[in-house]
Chain A
Amino acid sequence: MRRGRISERWWALLGRFGLTQQRWGSWPAWMRRLVKATTWLGLGLILTAAFGTWTTSALAVAAVVLLIVVPPWDRLPNIGPYRTGRWIPWLIALGFVVAYPYYVNGLPQLPVFGPFPNVHTMVVAGIFTMMALGLNFVVGYAGLLDLGYVAFYAMGAYVCGWFASEQFAGQHIDVGAVGLQQGWIGIHLSIWLVLPIAGLMTALIGVIIGLPTLRLRGDYLAIVTLGFGEIMPQVADNGNNLGGFNLTNGTGGITSIDGPGFGHGTVARALHLPASYLGAGNLDSLFFWTVIVLVLITIFCSARLRDSRLGRAWIAIREDETAAAAMGIPLMRTKTWSYATGAFFGGVAGAYYSSYNGGAFPDQFLFQISVFILCMVILGGMGSIPGVMLGAWFLAYLDQEGLSNVGGWINSHFNTNINVPNYEFGIYGLIIVVVMLLRPEGLIPSSRRAAELHEGVHDEPLYDVEELNAPLTEPTV
């Protein structure tokens, strides 16, 4: 309602300058895109000139954005069953993302936010994008609030530590690992093997956690997942002496985890693939390109599953659990699948992160991280793949660089002395509150979720309907 009124006023204002809504609507789509994009980019350029550091490359960036956004790609003929028009702008954008490490240093300084994020930040943002998309399976699709997602991240990181470091010194196993030093000890699997193993083991943990808990009503489930999320780091903290066995190396964490690489095989050499990432000079770029592939796989799985029988079942459960059950959807099994899928990507992301960091430390796995990832999903738009990606990228950027840049800008312009990154989580909390109150569908909403959040859903859990007095009955698997 409120948004309607704002846009009405907006159009009334534009109408005074002769641009009524009808007139706007009569223009061809590419022209509307041109006007919109030029307006925003012009605004950006003015701000950059005024508050940032002006370079001519700002014009180049604007030109590139115009070139991707404006042309009527949808007019292109289809090739077979594939709609080229839908893919071409995304492919061009992907090309620019892949090339990012080559031109990042030539980019202009943004107003307030300062320089564009460096490649290291982009790697972390990519990893968090994976995690947020993973959480999106649970929160966005199936509508289950998971406050302990960090447990999956931790699990993935430690699996990577177990299978690709010197943690288990008594072992001497090498399966395709790269960059091993003379006299190495421990278990060393290739990171390419560790990633799926970590995903699967984490998914298994997801199932184990999910089976007893997923029949709980939404808010109880949220708290139970939070409980698991709190227990996990404590186990990691104290896991250096589990009946004498050193599983996690305690507060010190598992260090010197192997990096990925393709080894010295003929195929790798023929394709110019790097033998070992850690030894390479452009380490961040290599990790960045790899994470792009991982994110693409995650997007692919998100989209495919959303549009499948399973995805429909998730959405049906989110909308009305009782009706979904009456339509033959096995609630427990279907919820568990969403949990396992979400856990899988959390695990892979965690494993990859620990390989990038070279370690897994218990103090990485705080409740704050769970909320951080949840905030990404909420800010971007629950259930919306582009939304969640935007939210994840933006918040991860804030975490890595943005907040300190903004803080520096504030302090130098207003003569204050605030350590802005100290207030990071309060800022995320504020974002959560503001988004939930004013725009619960997020920045780039999925159309369906938007309607639910504004109109409400039948979300009384199935077993509440029945059991007024008796304790909850046995699980429905």
Chain B
Amino acid sequence: MASALVLLLLFWLAKNAQVEGFAYFMNIALIGVTLGAVYALVALGYTLVYGILELINFAHGDVFMMGGMISATMIISVFNLGAHNSTFSVVAAVAVSLLVAMAGCGLLNATIERIAYRPLRHAPRLAPLITAIGMSFVLEDIAILWKHPSYVQTPSVLPHGNVFSISGVTYTWEKLIVVLITIPVLLALVWLVQRTRQGKAMRATAQDREAAAMMGINVNRTISFTFALAGALAGAGGLLYALYFNEIRYDTGYKLGLIAFTAAVLGGIGNLPGAVLGALVIGFIQAFNEGLTWHSPGSDWTESIVFSILILILVFRPSGLLGEQTPEGG
């Protein structure tokens, strides 16, 4: 059954590649990679938190949105960037914005955990999920209060020139930059989780909270750290979103958060490489659905398709593509 579906999907892709021509197909795929990179940053946050607390941090998408808002503020109000700026000042401004967005969202996420989830550590397990939903709405309204309900437009400061253009396949700089920012952030995450003391504490806490506490690990601090880390990733995602899509609104995070959560589930929730893989798959699916024309449902149905994937995965293969693990083990 599943393999039949995959075959059908492959046939649909191949047929589209034939109808549209290979170059067009590849261009769409490159959009998919870019989307996937943004989704990956957010999906990792879901997976990190789920791994350690078994909590779907529903407000995570909105933390991402706040990251976008912080970035927009930095780009517009603090640096006043526009097309006129020199390459160096853009790079410096983007780097500073990235750090500010990551720090701000890390702090925000850890604060949310402290206020809304920690007091419920021993309550029934649905209780923190419910407060997470509440926090999600609160964050959206803070964004409305701060930025009004309309879209915040950010200037397009990334260069749009071609990195390469080979027989119709063109890769533009702004797409490459999204990936170029994502990769070091991911590498830093891997290093942090696998090599540092704090990362080891996270892995131990995820495995068995009580045992970790008995071995002298400060569980509360480790959980705070995990939330801060997840928030920082979301902040980086928010910056990329603001730079790449150039507009962001209070409810951007809700929709994108659900898509990213789907990616985390698809990869196997709790599994870090899985989240990245899932995000890429979802990115491709979205790009192909919206870009290809031969019998594709089109952008009207993107969310339905993503949520159908979410439902099917949870019902038929809840461990995802790579298997459910303690997050940091993989």
Q: Do chains A and B touch in the complex (CB under 8 A)?
A: yes
Seen from chain A, the residues whose Cβ lies within 8 Å of a Cβ on chain B are 143, 145, 147, 212-213, 216, 218-220, 222-224, 226-228, 230-231, 234-235, 237-238, 367-368, 371, 374, 378, 422-423, 425-433, 436-437, 440, 452-453, 456-457, 459, 471-472
Could you tell me the distance in whole angstroms from the C-beta of A169 to the nearest C-beta in chain B?
24
Given the interface pairs A223-B261, A422-B149, A423-B145, the reply to whether A432 lies near B133 with Cβ below 8 Å is yes
Which listed residue, B127, B261, B318, touches A453 by the CB 8 Å rule? B127
**B126 lies within 8 A of A145 (CB):** yes
Could you tell me the distance in whole angstroms from the C-beta of B209 to the nearest C-beta in chain A?
14
Q: With the chains together, A232 CA to B10 CA distance in Å?
A: 28
**B133 lies within 8 A of A471 (CB):** no
| SS of A interface (majority) | helix
Could you tell me the distance in whole angstroms from the C-beta of A440 to the nearest C-beta in chain B?
6
Q: Who on chain B is nearest to A220 by CB?
A: B314
Interface residues on B, range: 35 or more
Q: With the chains together, A429 CA to B115 CA distance in Å?
A: 14
Residues of A within 8 Å of B176, CB to CB, are none
**A222 lies within 8 A of B129 (CB):** yes
Q: Who on chain B is nearest to A148 by CB?
A: B307
**A428 lies within 8 A of B137 (CB):** yes
Q: With the chains together, A368 CA to B123 CA distance in Å?
A: 25
**B254 lies within 8 A of A367 (CB):** yes
Which listed residue, B120, B142, B149, B310, touches A227 by the CB 8 Å rule? B310
**B311 lies within 8 A of A433 (CB):** no
**A238 lies within 8 A of B125 (CB):** no
Residues of B within 8 Å of A234, CB to CB, are 300-301, 303-304
Q: Who on chain A is nearest to B62 by CB?
A: A429
Encoded as 1 (CB less than 8 Å from any A CB) or 0, chain B from 124 to 167 comes to 11110111011111101110110001000000000000000000
In the assembled complex, B258 has its CB within 8 A of some CB on chain A: yes
Which listed residue, A213, A220, A227, touches B307 by the CB 8 Å rule? A227
In the assembled complex, B172 has its CB within 8 A of some CB on chain A: no
Q: With the chains together, A42 CA to B90 CA distance in Å?
A: 65
Given the interface pairs A219-B129, A422-B149, the reply to whether A213 lies near B120 with Cβ below 8 Å is no
Residues of A within 8 Å of B135, CB to CB, are 429, 433
Which listed residue, A218, A228, A428, A437, touches B125 by the CB 8 Å rule? A218
**B315 lies within 8 A of A213 (CB):** yes
Chain B contacts with A in 266-317, Cβ cutoff 8 A: 300-301, 303-304, 307-308, 310-311, 314-315, 317
Q: Who on chain B is nearest to A222 by CB?
A: B129
Q: Who on chain A is nearest to B310 by CB?
A: A227
Encoded as 1 (CB less than 8 Å from any A CB) or 0, chain B from 64 to 77 comes to 00000000000000
Q: With the chains together, A202 CA to B149 CA distance in Å?
A: 34
Q: With the chains together, A471 CA to B261 CA distance in Å?
A: 20
In the assembled complex, B119 has its CB within 8 A of some CB on chain A: yes
Encoded as 1 (CB less than 8 Å from any A CB) or 0, chain B from 215 to 235 comes to 000000000000000000000
Which listed residue, B130, B145, B149, B258, touches A432 by the CB 8 Å rule? B130
**A371 lies within 8 A of B137 (CB):** yes
In the assembled complex, B116 has its CB within 8 A of some CB on chain A: yes
Q: Who on chain B is nearest to A434 by CB?
A: B134
**A425 lies within 8 A of B140 (CB):** yes
Q: With the chains together, A253 CA to B304 CA distance in Å?
A: 19
Chain B contacts with A in 186-232, Cβ cutoff 8 A: none
In the assembled complex, B56 has its CB within 8 A of some CB on chain A: yes
- Name which of B55, B115, B261, B311 has the most chain A CB atoms within 10 A of its CB: B311
The 10 A-B residue pairs with the shortest CB-CB distance, nearest first, are A426-B141, A429-B137, A432-B134, A227-B307, A433-B134, A429-B134, A429-B138, A436-B131, A231-B304, A234-B304
Residues of A within 8 Å of B116, CB to CB, are 433, 437
Q: Who on chain A is nearest to B119 by CB?
A: A437
Residues of B within 8 Å of A425, CB to CB, are 137, 140-141
In the assembled complex, B319 has its CB within 8 A of some CB on chain A: yes
**B314 lies within 8 A of A433 (CB):** no
Q: With the chains together, A220 CA to B135 CA distance in Å?
A: 19
**A423 lies within 8 A of B141 (CB):** yes
**B314 lies within 8 A of A426 (CB):** no
Residues of A within 8 Å of B144, CB to CB, are 422-423, 426
Q: With the chains together, A471 CA to B268 CA distance in Å?
A: 11
**A230 lies within 8 A of B138 (CB):** no
In the assembled complex, B84 has its CB within 8 A of some CB on chain A: no
Could you tell me the distance in whole angstroms from the C-beta of B210 to the nearest C-beta in chain A?
15
Chain B contacts with A in 93-130, Cβ cutoff 8 A: 115-116, 119-120, 122-127, 129-130
Residues of B within 8 Å of A472, CB to CB, are 318
Which listed residue, A145, A220, A231, touches B318 by the CB 8 Å rule? A220
Which listed residue, B127, B301, B304, B310, touches A436 by the CB 8 Å rule? B127
Q: With the chains together, A430 CA to B59 CA distance in Å?
A: 13
**A433 lies within 8 A of B138 (CB):** yes
- Name which of B124, B144, B265, B317 has the most chain A CB atoms within 10 A of its CB: B124
Could you tell me the distance in whole angstroms from the C-beta of A139 to the nearest C-beta in chain B?
9
Q: With the chains together, A224 CA to B131 CA distance in Å?
A: 18
**A227 lies within 8 A of B124 (CB):** no
Could you tell me the distance in whole angstroms from the C-beta of B187 to the nearest C-beta in chain A?
30
Residues of B within 8 Å of A457, CB to CB, are 124
Q: Who on chain B is nearest to A235 by CB?
A: B304
Residues of B within 8 Å of A219, CB to CB, are 54-56, 125-126, 129
Q: With the chains together, A143 CA to B124 CA distance in Å?
A: 10
**A437 lies within 8 A of B131 (CB):** yes
* 13 CB-based A-B contacts, threshold 8 Å: A223-B314, A226-B258, A228-B307, A230-B303, A231-B308, A423-B145, A426-B137, A426-B141, A426-B144, A429-B138, A433-B134, A436-B134, A437-B119
